[in-house]
Structure 1
């Protein structure tokens, strides 16, 4: 009941649709109501939820959904509870309520845990931790750390369980939250009890009880006192265990906590059985059985009432939807009939006039289409003729350049042959004994040799060659960017498919020098020994 009591404390966020005085009175009423009649509290929440939707107060709508999910969880309807929490999660994220999103994720983590979906539970807790870290909420961090520690405890991963319980304890100590510290001490005592380390378990249970008593939390104290009785019984201190469990029983009777009463009766039965007092053991075990029946009966009654409320709400909602739909259908039907009648009248007038207009427009459109077709056909023919002329012009220009390139090459060959003949004849004259004449002739031969390498026709030749053989030099550089001007000149002449003798004459070198130059070029172009340089160049 304590859980549901805390749940209804949050309802103040949902009651913003009413006046402040009515809010306070209604909140106090729902707090009292939820302790005994969660179904009535759920009805009130449902009403607040409807009003928040009408007011378009999305934050309050999400809070109502979260609280309805918590009541559903308390009553054991986990699937319904998860549905409410998922709806709340979506709205909280949309309106940017970070801390409420984190608290809702913690609730969802509990539901996934009870549904035995432990990875999903851990995922919710991790996201809640991230949100609490962003907002710096120490209490939220501590609460989530404690839940993760509990998750590891149920998986018997005690080292991880201790780690997260200590993280939670550090957060609670930082903000001096006694009830939170007490809960963590209780959790740690439970872990030590599972590990059968009863001295440590007793220490932490005692510390938890002291903090609960200091904060006046009698309900939480009952379970701790019961746990202390368990530790005493498990360590063989049966009389002391009975005293401690009777103390827990008295507290449970004062608060009318059926769960703790049943646990105390069961523990007393076990203790008396261990002492060999079977009559007393039977008596308390019978009381435990009756308490368990009372608990189940109460839970069944609450769940029945809750399911009845859900059924009534759904039935009422269905009826409202049905009536609204019927009204909408009636309005829509009336409007549709009026519109149809008007449209029929207008349509009759429009059809006659538009039919006449259509015939006239079809005639005009047909004539325009024929005219457009003729114009487009003439334009296409003119464009085709223009393209043919352009292609012919380009072919003529290319042919002229080819002829010019050939003529230029032949001119250079003839010129170089002439120079070569002159050089040979002058070389003969140089062999004569006339010293002055010999010096002048040597200068003339040197000048002729220079003309072999630095000819003005080469620039014109390269420009014309580049126009005829586009991309040739770029393709060569893609194989080797370090080709020299002489290399490019030789490769261009090879591309023209000239004979080796003509190439040597054009370059002013011997056949042997030409073979060496071709060999070096093959190495620069990374060609294998068996590959043909001429075939490679022709392929570019």
Structure 2
């Protein structure tokens, strides 16, 4: 698609605007900043050719890019612009989509549930007018969530029941499961645990029947386990929680795994087994902290990259300005010297020539010295930049896994809106994404980038310790970059406790005493 765009670079028409918007949409998950750049290009071009529908679509995609980057506040302005334009055009399909996204921003990012409900209702009215029953069902479900999060469980249940009826009419079993699960949640929040269990079990039965996603199954099983704990059915609770944990671990669903650990802790607390309750509470909070740190690290890396880019552009502009100024000064000095030489008498010609030569030599020496100092400074800055770039690359490995997970979630959500026959093709794509989690290409790319900064590190390590394993080599490289245990766990796909064990084994293999610092030893290699 990018190749097609380059070929059509000279054309100024609506087709090019649509192409820019399509590219921007595809980039919203992978590179939100680049997606917004394409949106700005599309807006400029669409305004130039007076293509209002293209402008409205570009503003919608820009809002989506901000939302998917976790910046809900910034998403509101372009989405409101999209709404204004599409209201004037009478473009009800795009208008419904923008209302839906605006509502989601207010629900998930701003936490303004009344505002979210207002926009969901506007989108619902349009979906009914357009006879888009699938969208209407999703919107009714989301309106139910706005009530549920305000503890208005009766109103929430009413909307979930409407969504359930709509899903049944369309024979969307996955949608039925979601609605039943949400209804069960309202009963659990009201303390009617038997009724909650009834609806959770109905949801679970459908998930088993259609072989739903492991992530969805883990959530439903966790809900079932939570209710069994409250009903004091401890054996049954432990049974379903074990299945929930297996499902979550199967697809590395960290959020769901975190919630299962919390219910496990509640189970053992209710049984009076304090040590196990404490164990699972620790696992819950450790995973919670890890997920929070990964997100913050991603945001920090993005901010640092933006800052470094802007800083480098300013430095280049300043350097060009200094060169121009220096050229002017040199030119001026040459003119003065020529004038002086013409005025001087023949008697002082040789003396003046010698003085001029000395002066030039000094200037050359000084300039060379300044250039050497500048080169040394640039080399030092380049090394720091490469180290930061390497750290950012490692964080991108985590972000890539998160993006794959998020992409898979989107595909699984899309499965809800198509027939079971069509969903088979998307299921193959989900399996392909699961397989990509196990590829080792990221490590090979990381290893190449690492060697560019720390040349010969791996060779020295393997020569001195021939029995060192590949996983221990990875651990050494991450310790060399001063990553904390939680960050190493996230990158290597293991638990923080496993990192501690790996560090202990590595110390033994490197024959370090208790007083020796493992990190210092690796840095000094």
Structure whose CA Rg is larger:
1
Structure-1-length-normalised TM-score: 0.49
Q: TM-score, normalised by structure 2?
A: 0.50
